[in-house]
Amino acid sequence: MSNPTKKVCGLVDVRDDHLCVRCGASLYGVEGSRHHRKLRSQGGKNDTENLILLCGSGTTGCHGFVHANPAASRASGWIVRSGFDPATVPVLFPDGSWWRLLEDGTKEYVRPRDAVEFMELIHARGQK
């Protein structure tokens, strides 16, 4: 699979304010990467709603944490369970706020109660 386009990378970087979505670390001039929430191995695409900025690589920093801790990462929206659309799954940001990532590179606020209920529903469906 090819890499995200420069346009998509730019939209993701601006939307996430050049900060790691998990810990909030600045990614200006620091090793960071764009993480596929729905993993590429599960058909995840290079879309703005499927990509978030994380510090580190797939084995280091928050990017490594997300891959090493899939259950916690699914509960926070950093990984999207197979069969779900990343555009519908909210993401937990470092300040405790929840956001739905949109195709145009923006994000839409999700009330915490609604986000938690949605994540519990996804978890329950995944247990079947």
pLDDT score at 125: 75
38-62 pLDDT, tens per residue? 999 999 999 999 999 999 988 999 9
Pairing of strands 51-55, 32-36: antiparallel
Domain ranges of the chain: 6-126
pLDDT score at 127: 57
| Angle in degrees, CA 29, 104, 50, rounded to 5 | 65
62-102 pLDDT, tens per residue? 999 999 999 999 999 999 998 899 999 999 999 999 999 99
pLDDT score at 123: 82
Confidence class for position 31, pLDDT limits 50, 70, 90: low
Q: What is the mean pLDDT of residues 18-35?
A: 90
Question: What ranges make up the beta strands (E) of 23-117?
Answer: 32-36, 51-55, 91-92, 98-101, 107-110
Q: Model-level pTM?
A: 0.92
